[in-house]
Structure 1
Amino acid sequence: MCAAISVGEKMASARNDHLMKQRSVIEFLTAEGCSTVAIHKRMKDVYGDACLTEESKMQSMQYRHKNSPAPKKFKVVASARKVLLKIFWDMEGIVHIEFLEQGTTINSERYVSTLRALKGRLRRVRQDKVKEGQHDKARPHTSRQTQCALQQLKLPAIPHPPYSPDLAPSDFFLFPLLKKHLKGNHYETDAEVEADVRSWCRSQTPEFFADGMRKLVQRWRLCIERDGDYVEK
């Protein structure tokens, strides 16, 4: 897995550098007074298929005649705000769910509090069996305070390469399916969102969660076979 760390970091860094360079070009040409269409054409000539596609919305603004009626704007319907979800699960199902309050910052102290709640849930629903958890490389997950808490709570962590959502089962398996379920639904309150998420989680069978973990093992093997390269599918 050491190869996965070094290659993953290089690939992520290269993608970010390429993205930032193109955005800098857009900012510079915009400051010069170039139109969106002209900017896109010049960048397309240089970058080809690697050219950013985020300008499509801006381009469409240029295709309206100056005497055309102003575009209609649909009335924005009040909806629930974004809800931040933290979830822990294994082959048997959901172990612990937390919905963080709006504006909550996930720092080391907050994450340690979550780990303590997780430990309590493990005692109740898994008879305190030894579990190894997977944590990404976000700063609250790797801080000294968090590492000390993991040792005190006896929650060993599986090594995880940075910038590797392709090896995080919540990212490549659970969340995409949950988002598909939530897509198109309208919720008036955060409580409605939370209730629907909990209901969806409870409706999944143990085989569903076991399948997610099997896919993780498959991705580990592919990552090793590819010398640490990303696993797209």
Structure 2
Amino acid sequence: MITPRPHVAKTTKSLLATFSWTVLAHPSYSPDLAPTNYYLFSDMQQSLEGTDFKTKSDVENWLVSYFASKIARVLEDRYSEFAKQMADVVDKEGKYY
């Protein structure tokens, strides 16, 4: 099982302390949470095929158009599905054996 390293850089720790944020432990690596399974990424990748951006503005406009074209409910369902998978990983404490 691979466990990611927590925020250990002095500058990062200092910045986190400035905001008084509580740093949560990183979950162990989970194949259940692979980003490639996340609906948005595969759909976006397909939409980007053959696209050639010339400027930063072209990228920004494409992103605005892409998200505007998505039905909010479909994205909400996908995010909900991902959240359930994440909760399952947390419940199992990263133990799959």
TM-score (norm 2): 0.55
* 5+ residue gaps, structure 2: none
CA contact under 8 A between 2:33 and 2:85: conserved in structure 1? yes
Higher normalized strand content (fraction of residues): 1
Corresponding position of 2:96: 228
Corresponding position of 1:219: 85
Aligned-pair distance for 1:161? 2.9
Which has the greater radius of gyration? 1
1:124-180: CA deviation from partner (whole Å, max 9, x where unpaired): xxxxxxxxxxxxx5x7x8234324433433555554335447426xx2423222212
Aligned-pair distance for 1:192? 1.4
Percent identity, aligned pairs only? 24
3-state secondary structure, aligned to 2:95: coil
Q: How many pairs were matched up?
A: 92
Alignment of 1:42-121 (within 5 A): none
Give the AA of the match of 1:227.
K
* 5+ residue gaps, structure 1: 1-6, 11-136
Aligned-pair distance for 1:210? 2.9
Corresponding position of 1:183: 49
CA RMSD of aligned residues (A): 3.8
Q: Residues 156, 226 of structure 1: CA spacing in aligned structure 2 closer, same or farther, 3 A cutoff? A: closer
| 2:67 counterpart of 1:201 | yes
Corresponding position of 1:31: none
Q: Which has the higher contact order (CA 8 A, sep 6+)?
A: 2
Measure the CA separation in 2 of the matches of 1:155 and 1:208: 33
